[in-house]
A and B are shown apart, each in its own frame.
Chain A
Amino acid sequence: MLTEEKTKNIKIWTGNDAVANAVRLSRPEVIAAYPITPSTPIIKTISNWAAKGEMDVEYISVESEHAAMAGCVGASAAGGRTFTATASQGLLYMMEMVYMAGFTRLPMTMAVVNRSLFAGWNIWVDHHDMYSMRDAGWIQIIAKNNQEAHDMIPVSFKVSENHDVYVPSAVNIDGFILSHVAGQVEPLSQKLVDDFLPAFDPIFKLDPADPVSFGSLTLPGRYAKLRQDHLESMDRARKHLREGFEEMSELTGRNWGSLVEIYGEENADVGIISLGTIAEETEEAVDILNTMGIGSFGATRLRSFRPFPFEEVVDAARRYGQIIVIDRAYSMGANAPLVTEIRNHLQKANISTPVKSLITGVGGQEVPYTLLVKMFQEVMKQEVA
């Protein structure tokens, strides 16, 4: 065992390196992208490989994100495996096309390197950008570290292209905290990815030999049916994501569990639910809180936001005495996006576990575990109406 450990091939990669390398292993055929901090290094690395012939891909250096996503829509409709990366304002600017990819049901993978939105100008992490595409009909996966970002890319391509699902998919990584900080990553091998990820087999594609037409006028009844069909496909995506994560765990020996990752005391008095890197910081905070004699603490991290892990959240609410949900974004005039989602579903499932809200870490505000320890204790005092 020890010798095997020693021969492990470990790279020191930033989150952006980890994503770019996984994209290369996934053999996309078309990439159209426009630079924006903090996602630029992904496309810079990939365009370098493409230029040197180290990656067999059509790289299109387009004039904007709107053109990037429109190019991806076209490439996917033509039957190519497609990728792009963006962040923040870039995601907002391409949004018309993001919805088009989603509602037209065109498989592809996009890396979203999470960053705050204008105004004021701020380049650091929060989740306002991610939530902006919540209803665009995309799968949304969120990684907590560079290794997970690396491993999730092939899963994203696979589930997106699955005929039972067939929707585009975004892999989110926190800006700078992951995108620009180097850490240990054990690379997937080309063979592993080739065995895991079959070639893209489009259900429909622009092919003169077998004509199809995308985007024609759709009357109300059929339109509603299209959306209903999309909804059902996303419901099925839950199962396929679980299987994808599990298969990746088996192949790599890294436990990516399922749609959620549970940490600490499973049946704790207080359970913290969150997304992304703040969940890793929460693990540290949970360990400290568990030594303080103020009750037991645990954490559940969601790996997918769309489709939403309903069953896993219900399970968490049954396990925990009370829940604190961390949001890295606001919804002005209402409750924050993640806590709303959770309360809403628990109400539907008739579960009365108190759910409290903590909004923090926006615009790159630092949230070390020491601060989380204090904040959790404050939030526990919240009255839930």
Chain B
Amino acid sequence: MTIDFTKLHHNFETSLTSKMLPTIWCSGCSLGSNLQSIIRGAKQAGYDFDHDIVMISGIGCTGRASGYVNIDGFHTTHGRALPFATGVKNGNPDLEVIVFSGDGDLFAIGGNHFIHTARRGTDMTVICNNNSTYGLTGGQASATSFEDTVTPTTIGKNDKPFNLVDLALGAGATFVARYTTAQYNTLPRVIAQAMRHDGFAFIDLVSGCPAIYGKRNGYPTGEYMIKNFKEASVEIDTSDPSYLLSENTAIEFDRKVGYTKIPIGIFRSSTMEGKF
């Protein structure tokens, strides 16, 4: 059967660049749903896609997003999304700058830029599609791959992954949240809040790459992955200050079954000033 893509309709088609569709993303991947959450979040926050926003990404499966949305975008080089975004924000401070990029892009090859952009507190919203792997190049280990998992470049063992929430808090980000692809209803609200936040806002968007990483490491399909995210997500209790301890923000993963614990929620925001 051949599909006539010109006859298909999409809920958010006015927000997407139709000539770039269909996307290159695998079925079951987190990316389609995550991009939708971002679009819904930006709309909820009241931004005008034709005038207010730019989306910047690095290179990776996630990086493609900047080419799919119908807003100004720049698909920069691998790792350089944040310094590029810093330039954009300073060049035109009226723009709302969203960076949507992968864990490899933002925390491996571009890791240095993350801590410094957070430290400077440049006003932007950074959403990491954290699938714990280099999806685009074939599922190699990234800075957030879990210790006992298998990738084409790390068969025996992985080094310890970064806890992105911990890292962002330590580097001085003033809005820090974590959710998974499965919190599809909550995400737009959180993204809108992050965009309206005046300062460096970071969302660790825990995502999956079922086609490559998940297949080898406990979540073989998109369907399983979403169930897994739902079951493993634990809402943090901000009334108990110990929620900020590294051991309480860390994600836990078991190669046989996938995620076993994902602390989710808003870890820091301007409304919580003075709490930390």
Contact = CB atoms under 8 A, between A and B. Distances in A.
B110 to A, nearest CB: 8
B154 A61 contact: yes
Given A35-B137, A35-B138, A61 B153 contact: yes
Interface in A20-61: 34-37, 40, 43-44, 47-48, 51-52, 59, 61
Nearest to B67: A121
B137 A37 contact: yes
Given A51-B155, A118-B77, A44 B108 contact: no
Interface string B12-51: 0000000000000000000000000000000000000000
B153 A47 contact: yes
Interface in A139-169: none
A64 interface: yes
Contacts of B137: 35-37, 40
A66 to B, nearest CB: 8
Pick from A44, A59, A65, A89 the residue with the most CB of B within 10 Å: A44
Contacts of B111: 63
B128 to A, nearest CB: 15
A30 B152 CA distance: 18
Contacts of A48: 152, 155
Nearest to B64: A121
A63 B143 contact: yes
Name B's interface SS. Answer: loop
A121 B159 CA distance: 31
Nearest to B74: A119
Contacts of A36: 137
A61 B109 contact: no
A89 B159 CA distance: 26
B259 interface: no
Interface string B133-153: 010011011010000000011
B132 to A, nearest CB: 14
A91 to B, nearest CB: 13
11 contacts: A35-B138, A36-B137, A40-B138, A47-B153, A48-B155, A51-B154, A51-B155, A52-B155, A63-B108, A63-B111, A93-B109
Given A35-B137, A51-B154, 15 more contacts: A34-B109, A35-B138, A35-B153, A37-B137, A40-B137, A47-B152, A47-B153, A47-B155, A48-B155, A51-B156, A52-B155, A59-B153, A65-B109, A89-B78, A93-B78
Closest 6 CB pairs of A and B: A51-B155, A64-B109, A63-B108, A35-B137, A44-B152, A47-B153
